[in-house]
Amino acid sequence: MPKSVYYVTTPIYYVNDIPHIGNAYTTIVADVVARYHRLKGEKTFFLTGTDENATKVANAAAEAGVPTRQYVDKLAGDFQKVWASLAIEYDDFIRTTEDRHVRVVEAIFKRLLDQGDIFKGHYEGWYCIPCETFFSESELVDGKCPECGRAVEWVQEENYYFRLSAYANRLLAHIEAHPEFLQPEFRKNEVVNFIKQGLRDVSITRTNRGWGIPVPGDPSKVIYVWFDALINYISAVGYLYDEERFNSIWPADLQLMGKDIFVRFHCTFWPAMLMALGLDLPKVLFGHGWWSIDGEKISKSKGNAISPAKLAENLAAESGAKRDVCLDAVRYFMCREVTFGSDGDFSMASFRNRFNSDLANDLGNLLNRTLSMLSKYFGSKIPDSKGHSGMLRDIIVETATFAEAACDKLEFSRALESIWQMIAAGNKFVNDREPWTLAKQGRMDELAGVLYSALEVVRAAAIMISPFMPATSCEIARQLGVLNEFGSLKWTNVTDSKPFEPGIVISGPEPIFPRLGSTISAQHTTRENAREKKGAIEQMTERISYDYFSKMDLRIAEVKSAERVEGAEKLLKLMVNLGDEERQIVAGIAQWYEPECLVGRKIVMLTNLQPAKIRGVDSDGMLLAADVEGRAVVLFADEQVPAGAKVK
Ligand code: ME8
């Protein structure tokens, strides 16, 4: 059977710790890739798993005081739970302690021994246990491991070797003939230089200390963990036991990993092993960059590792957004913030910024305002746009083409950027067409066309972001009333014309991404600047008595209607309900809030302020808003609080 499946892999992770934002990254990206290919209608196979036969895994178990087998079972289960909690939809999870894998490793060892690619010899050298790698004297840096900087041990062993040196020229020729084989381009040179320096044969066995896969016929030794681990990519898909399946999946289309295990292991050792077995090489090996947190290396000892699931939970608790959506925000951030391949730095400030600007202000706003206006002007019924729809069709088609090409080239941040340009164009279109003016002038056909066109953009965005933000995509589809058909949509459906059935009634908007109150994170507010802030507030404000404060009549008010004040760009006129009376107030928030988005919300209002005329409009009261670097952020109250309730 010819190859018919798109096959993507992640490294298999050592089970000595639980994933943090750094090592979750590769798996999140692989999930995005797999979802993208499924969305294009391709049969896809996404493999991840755990690397369990390493000495460091046995050491971690010993440290935890648990039998190694029990330890790896527990951690492999924990990994699977973490991936489930991050919406990772892999097709298979391989563990290197599984029989299906061990049998293939043994068979490959025997075969390569028989054909002379593995031979027995004596070896002495510097060995780094955490990196599971031998180094020559000249490779050491200050006598320490060049990869991790830790102490190395002098190891003398009778071992089996893999004849890596025999493959140098073939590897170079393959790299030369397949420009897309090693990516990103800038890492390719590193590989070529490494191979050109001369490849030594690799010792692929170690003394058996009770953990690992014993060498067939020589149980005093175990198979080197990297030789064993790399084989997972073929043992999981049927190599040597299900030829038909194997031929339909192998070679892998994309193997993802961090730059740490790119050059030596995945671009040299692995392809040489495949060549020795007479197998095709993967189409693309991609070595992505390294994530740091606040500019620092992520490390267990520093205790700065952030779990993506915890991050999503904290964000959900703070913002009121759903947990799944917050998780999507993490996935979005990691794919958008850096060019895939380069290093990235995670900081709460930049994460919150993206949440507020890209998700709440751009995407959330386009959905909310369109659905609010649909509710206000058409009773939430999809209008018959009588030929006026599709006004944004060109940009939808352009974006679908550009984003697809970018995803195909693994340029995820460019793909997302282009989708967000389309969303911005949708928001600008609504601003420019002024649906509120069309409504006032009774131009209902045109108004229908504007709203229908805006809905088309929201739908197109929801389809294209689905590989990155699956829960958000479903939530938007639900609010658009098209959730049922969404599961079967493909990328080509992005450009469907007239995708909504006129007359269908859909629900009102439910904000998906409530804005986060401040761009300064708790984590970043050091004790010092908290103290400074407190001092500044004390200096700024004169202390008042409670009596003085109680003179202010602060109440919860419900916004009944909102509109722009003609000729005043910054002002909105609101009618609010205070429980037993209605009032009109004018607020200088038009730059930051669409009038439709305020309707139905509960605000905090100072009711006993002297009435005033602002730009000729009566204002009887004032709403409260926080001043965030010059931007007004309205204080909204919980929906449950009744209008008129006193605030004190
Ligand atoms: O090396 N930034 O497993 P491992 C980006 N078992 N990616 C990161 C990262 C960070 N800060 N930290 C970890 C192994 N990663 C072997 C692999 S494959 C046959 C055997 C990711 O648990 C990145 O993909 O040390 C890196 O290559 C991988 O985790 C290392 O995982």
Residue 290, ligand 1, Cβ within 6 A: yes
Q: Which two tokens stand for residue 271?
A: 């392809």
The Cα–Cα gap between 555 and 574 comes to 15
Rounded to 10 deg, the angle between the 323-337 and 412-433 helix axes is 110
Q: How far is CA 364 from CA 1, 165, 241, 589, in A?
A: 46, 56, 50, 18
* Model confidence pLDDT, tens digit, residues 575-613: 999 998 999 999 999 877 888 878 888 999 999 988 888
pLDDT at residue number 597: 78
Burial (Cβ within 10 Å: 0-12, 13-18, ≥19) of residue 412: buried
DSSP states of 269-331 as a string?
IHHHHHHHHTPPPPS-EEEE--EEETTEE--TTTT----HHHHHHHHHHHH---HHHHHHHHH
**CB 51 less than 6 A from any atom of ligand 1:** yes
Per DSSP bridges, beta strands 254-258 and 612-614 are unpaired
Domain boundary among 259, 289, 319: 289
Please state the separation of Cα 359 from the chain's center in Å. Answer: 13
Residue 309 lies inside a defined structural domain of this protein: no
Q: Is the minimum distance from the CB of 22 to ligand 1 under 6 angstroms?
A: yes
CB 30 less than 6 A from any atom of ligand 1: no
Instruction: Residue 219: count other Cβ atoms within 10 Å of its Cβ.
Output: 9
Number of structural domains, the chain?
3
Q: What is the distance in A from the centroid of ligand 1 to the CA of 265? A: 12
Q: What is the CATH number of the domain that holds 632?
A: 2.40.50.140
Do 339 and 217 fall into the same domain? no
Confirm whether 504 is domain-assigned. no
Ligand 1 atom, smallest distance to 292 CA: 11
CATH number at residue 481: 1.10.730.10
| The ligand 1 atom nearest the CA atom of 13 | 22
Q: What is the chain's alpha carbon radius of gyration, rounded to the nearest angstrom?
A: 30
3-state DSSP call for residue 209? coil
**pLDDT of res. 208:** 92
- The minimum-distance atom of ligand 1 relative to the CA of 260 is 27
Residue 582 lies in a domain: yes
**Is 291 close to ligand 1, i.e. is its CB under 6 Å away?**
yes
In terms of phi and psi (left: phi > 0; alpha: psi -120 to 50; beta: otherwise), the region of 442 is left
Give me the DSSP letters along 159-172.
EEEE-GGGGHHHHH
**Nearest residue (CA) to ligand 1, atom 21:** 23
Q: What is the pLDDT of residue 529?
A: 40
Q: Which domain holds residue 373?
A: 332-495
Residue 260 Cβ inside 6 Å of ligand 1? The answer reads: yes
**Integer Cα distance of 189 and 358 in angstroms:** 36
Give the strand order in the sheet containing 296-297. Answer: 296-297, 291-293, 344-346
Question: CA separation (Å) from 142 to 129, 131, 197?
Answer: 17, 17, 21
pLDDT at residue 629 in the model: 62
Do both 159 and 271 map to the same domain?
yes
- The per-residue pLDDT for 505 is 92
Question: What pTM was estimated for this model as a whole?
Answer: 0.80
What span, in angstroms and rounded, lies between the C-alpha atoms of 262 and 192?
Answer: 12
In-domain check, residue 623: yes
Give the integer Cα–Cα distance in Å for 177 and 407: 24
Residues 566 and 484 in one domain: no
Q: Are residues 457 and 595 in the same domain?
A: no
Residue written as tokens 């439709």? 596
Reference 101, options 276, 229, 280, 211; nearest CA is 229
Among 647, 643, 623, residue whose Cα is nearest residue 635? 623
Q: Which atom of ligand 1 is nearest the CA belonging to 259?
A: 27
- Any ligand 1 atom below 6 A from CB of 257: yes
CATH number of the domain that residue 188 is part of: 3.40.50.620
Pair (276, 345) in one structural domain: no
CB 65 within 8 A of CB 27: no
Ligand 1 binding pocket includes 12 (Cβ within 6 Å): yes
Cα-flanking dihedrals φ and ψ of residue 393, to 5°?
Answer: -60, -40
**In the beta sheet, which residues pair with residue 60?**
none
The separation between the first and the last C-alpha atoms of the chain, rounded to the nearest angstrom, is 74
Domain boundary among 429, 461, 495: 495
84 with 162, same domain: the answer is: yes
The pLDDT of residue 577 is: 93
Question: Residue ranges of the chain with pLDDT lower than 50?
Answer: 518-541
CB within 8 Å of 30: residues ≥ 6 apart: 8, 9, 10, 46, 48, 90, 256
Query: Does ligand 1 have an atom closer than 6 angstroms to the CB of 269?
Result: no
Q: Which residues contact 492 (CB under 8 A, 6 or more apart)?
A: 41
Question: Which residue's C-alpha comes closest to atom 4 of ligand 1?
Answer: 13
CA distance linking residue 349 with residue 357, whole number of Å:
12
For position 322, what pLDDT does the model report?
94
- Ligand 1 centroid from CA 11, angstroms: 7
Task: Quote the tokens at residue 287.
Answer: 């070595």
Residue 532 has a pLDDT of 41
CA–CA distance, 6 with 292 (Å, rounded to integer): 31
Claim to verify: residue 142 and residue 25 sit in the same structural domain: yes
Helices (H), 391-480: 393-408, 412-433, 435-440, 444-464, 470-479
Q: E-assigned strands of 153-213? A: 153-162, 182-183, 202-203, 205-207
Together in a domain, 279 and 373:
no
Which residue's CA is the closest to the ligand 1 atom numbered 16?
Answer: 13
Structure confidence at residue 640 (pLDDT): 80
Ligand 1 contact via 334 beta carbon (within 6 Å): no
Instruction: Looking at the structure, tell me whether residues 78 and 158 fall in a common domain.
Output: yes
Same domain flag for 471 and 575: no
The verdict on the CB of residue 25 being under 6 Å from ligand 1 is yes
Check residue 583 and give its pLDDT.
94
Q: How close is the Cα of 258 to the center of ligand 1, in Å?
A: 6
Q: Is 344 in the pocket of ligand 1 (CB under 6 A)?
A: no
264 with 373, same domain: the answer is: no
CB 414 within 8 Å of CB 341: no
pLDDT digits (tens, 9 = 90+) for 86-108: 999 999 999 999 999 999 999 99
How far, in Å, is the centroid of ligand 1 from the Cα of 161?
A: 25
Residue 603's CB: how many other CB atoms inside 10 A?
22
> Are 373 and 599 spatial neighbours (Cβ–Cβ below 8 Å)?
no
CA atoms within 13 A on the CB side of 29: 30
Determine, yes or no, domain membership for 126: yes
Angle, in degrees to the nearest 10, between helices 365-378 and 444-464: 150
Q: Is residue 386 part of a domain?
A: yes
- Please indicate whether residue 11, judged by its CB atom, sits closer than 6 Å to ligand 1: yes
In the reported structure, the alpha carbon of residue 122 is separated from the centroid of ligand 1 by a whole-number distance in angstroms of 31
Among protein residues, the one whose CA lies closest to atom 11 of ligand 1: 22
Q: Are 136 and 129 in contact (CB under 8 A)?
A: no
DSSP code for 91: S
Q: Which of 473, 495, 517 is the last residue in one of the domains?
A: 495
For residue 639, tell me if it sits in a domain: yes
Cβ atoms of residues 502 and 389 within 8 Å: no
Regarding whether 469 and 561 lie in a shared domain, the answer is no
- Is there a domain that residue 373 lies in? yes
**H/E stretch holding 545:** none
Ligand 1 atom at minimal distance to the Cα of residue 257: 24
Strand pairing partners for 632? 627
Of 456, 407, 417, nearest to 332 (Cα)? 417
- What is the reported pLDDT for 282? 98
For ligand 1, the distance from its centroid to the CA atom of residue 136, given in whole angstroms, is: 23
CA–centroid distance, 431 to ligand 1, in Å, is 46
Is the CB–ligand 1 distance for residue 258 below 6 Å? Answer: yes
